[in-house]
Amino acid sequence: MFKLSHIPFIITIVLYFTSTVWSIGSIVCPHFFNKKVAKWTMMMGFFVHSGFLVFLGLESGNIPITNVYESFISLLWCVLFVYINLDYLYKLPSLDTFLVPLVTALSIWAMTFDGGNLIITVSLQNFWLVAHIIPIFVGYAAFTISFSLSIMYLTQQRQLKLKLFGALFNKLPSLEGIDKLMWKTLSLGFPLLTLGLVFGAFWVRTQNILGDMWYLDYKVILGLATWLTYAALLHMRLVASFHGTKVACMTIAGFCLVLFTFIGTFFMGSKHAFQKTNEPTHIEVLKERMP
């Protein structure tokens, strides 16, 4: 179902896709594909993406998470926002080759959620909501980047093991370097996720958003599982000082859980803050119950 309002995000996807092609091309065939093109198309995509979110926000008068589609593209915006900042701080060579394709693919997937009738059921001017959503989104963004780094780690590790010394081998940084960055992104994401979950818990307790059985909500359960996975991972790193392949594999598992918590729960019919429009919303139900 094509709408005029899709155009900016389609442009964004086209730019991300161009960036993907160029960032992969700059490794495979550096004479033809200029790395700078990859960088600038990504930046241009990011600006259009930002503009689109501002537009959505102004249109609805809320932060753009009023439905699943908007939340998804807001999350993707966070991923790039965190990436651009980290790249500026730490210089992450060739990470875009792993991250931008992922963002492009997720962006295309996000498109399929538009037109879904799930909309948010609570007031977006709520302090708790912002305190719940923003840390979690930035945390998820950090986990997305650590996922890309894990893929990069395992790729480089495989190349070293199998003695495949191609163009990609030369472009990628050292295993130790990737490992350190993975650690940095994880230690950024985890406190934020914790904070977001704590605020979420406060919110749900004080305002009874998800009903009395809130702890049986899929998203709550999976969120907790995600938290535990990353807690275990950080424990491995901090206490047992684990490195290498195992950490990379667990980071990948953690990200799969993140994605499942974020999107998968909708397929399972979670009503976590979103509601099918043709049913009475929670708030309405709550109102009805009130005397």
Per-residue contact flags (x/-) with another protein for residues 177 to 206, judged by CB under 8 A: x--x--------------------------
CA-angle at 80, arms to 177 and 142, nearest 5°: 55
Q: Distance between CA 107 and CA 14 in Å, rounded?
A: 10
One of 33, 40, 113, 169 touching another protein (CB under 8 A): 169
Q: Which residue has the tokens 């249109």?
A: 59
Q: Compute the chain's Rg from CA coordinates.
A: 20
By CB under 8 A, tell whether 163 contacts another protein: yes
**How many residues belong to the site for another protein (CB under 8 A)?**
21
Smallest separation, CB 63 to another protein (Å): 39
Q: How many helices (H) and strands (E) does the chain have?
A: 11, 2
Residue type, 28: V
- Toward another protein, which CB reaches closer, 39 or 171? 171
- Toward another protein, which CB reaches closer, 3 or 161? 161
Q: Is 219 exposed, middle or buried (0-12, 13-18, 19+ CB in 10 A)?
A: buried
Q: Distance between CA 219 and CA 266 in Å, rounded?
A: 9
By CB under 8 A, tell whether 289 contacts another protein: no
Q: Quick one: tokens of 278?
A: 């043709």
By CB under 8 A, tell whether 173 contacts another protein: yes
Return the closest-CA partner of residue 87 out of 157, 38, 134, 27.
Answer: 38
By CB under 8 A, tell whether 35 contacts another protein: no
Piece of 33-41, 55-63, 163-171, 204-212 that binds another protein (CB under 8 A): 163-171
Piece of 46-54, 132-140, 159-167, 186-194 that binds another protein (CB under 8 A): 159-167
Question: Footprint of another protein on this chain (CB under 8 A)?
Answer: 156, 160-161, 163, 165, 169, 172-177, 180, 240-247
